[in-house]
Amino acid sequence: GDSVTQMEGPVTLSEEAFLTINCTYTATGYPSLFWYVQYPGEGLQLLLKATKADDKGSNKGFEATYRKETTSFHLEKGSVQVSDSAVYFCALAPIQGAQKLVFGQGTRLTINP
Amino acid sequence: EPEVTQTPSHQVTQMGQEVILRCVPISNHLYFYWYRQILGQKVEFLVSFYNNEISEKSEIFDDQFSVERPDGSNFTLKIRSTKLEDSAMYFCASSPGRTYNEQFFGPGTRLTVL
């Protein structure tokens, strides 16, 4: 079945460091791909999305490119801030029928000043 | 900005008791969802709801679970006889349309079954 695998956390970086969180997926057809972020005490918020191969989603300095050849959707940011500390979830929406989201396990990111 | 709300934020119950988790989706949305996250595990889809009926459910969503939209604003998840393994964070979400539209999530209800 459809699945998403994220890099293991937690990840701890210093402010202004470069961030990569890896995400790979297994799906039938061409799913839509998403990154959600969960700040402490809050719900999941959509960070960015891509709906077809080679699309690049971007928001708040974060980027991710839909790579069909490697079935990947890695999240990157060139210079992280303390306020980026959160849990990041990669997710896919399967192309067939249902609207459900399939999530990765989440990666906890901590940015130190 | 409109948001999905959930109540209560934390519910503690005894095994075998019934619980109802409540959600108020964004008002003009048409699709509603429940997900859960057991501590340390993935966020898992439970059920989707459209036009006053279940459109899809997962294997987790067995006869112990039910959903309802009792009025024009609330969307509820009922667990009839809770088990220890039902302890989890339960997230409600809503969406204006189908697959390619963003799902807007609530802050979650933490359910603890003793």
Q: What is the pLDDT of residue A24?
A: 97
- With CA atoms as reference, the chain A residue closest to B102 would be A46
> CA B106, CA A62: separation in Å to the nearest integer?
23
Mean pLDDT computed over every residue of chain A: 92
Given CB atoms, is B112 within the 8 Å cutoff of chain A? no
Single out the residue of A88, A81, A84, A85 nearest to residue A16, CA to CA: A81
Task: Choose between B17 and B96: higher pLDDT.
Answer: B17
Q: What is the per-residue pLDDT across B48-70, written as a single tens digit (0 to 9) for each?
A: 999 999 999 999 999 999 999 98
Q: What is the pLDDT of residue A1?
A: 83
Single out the residue of B25, B2, B3, B1 nearest to residue B94, CA to CA: B25
> CA B113, CA B108: separation in Å to the nearest integer?
16
Q: What is the mean pLDDT of residues B68-93?
A: 94
Confidence label for B100 from pLDDT (cuts 50, 70 and 90)? low
Given CB atoms, is B33 within the 8 Å cutoff of chain A? yes
**Contact in structure between A73 and A23 (CB atoms under 8 Å):** yes
Q: How far is A50 from chain B (nearest CA, A)?
A: 9
List Cα–Cα distances, B15 to A70, B55, B60, in angstroms: 45, 29, 18
Given CB atoms, is B61 within the 8 Å cutoff of chain A? no
- Mean pLDDT lowest among A7-11, A86-90, B91-95: A7-11
Confidence label for B102 from pLDDT (cuts 50, 70 and 90)? confident
Mean pLDDT computed over every residue of chain B: 92
Q: Return the residue in B54, B58, B99 with the most chain A beta carbons within 10 A, the one to mutate for interface testing.
A: B99
> CA B22, CA B4: separation in Å to the nearest integer?
11
In chain B, residues with a C-beta closer than 8 Å to the C-beta of A36 are 105
User: Could you tell me how far CA A78 lies from the centroid of its own chain?
Assistant: 15
Q: What is the pLDDT of residue B109?
A: 96
End-to-end CA distance of chain B: 37
Among the partner-chain residues A49, A89, A100, the one whose CB lies closest to the CB of B48 is A100
Q: What is the mean pLDDT of residues A68-96?
A: 93
pLDDT over 90 at A89, yes or no:
yes
Q: What is the pLDDT of residue B94?
A: 93
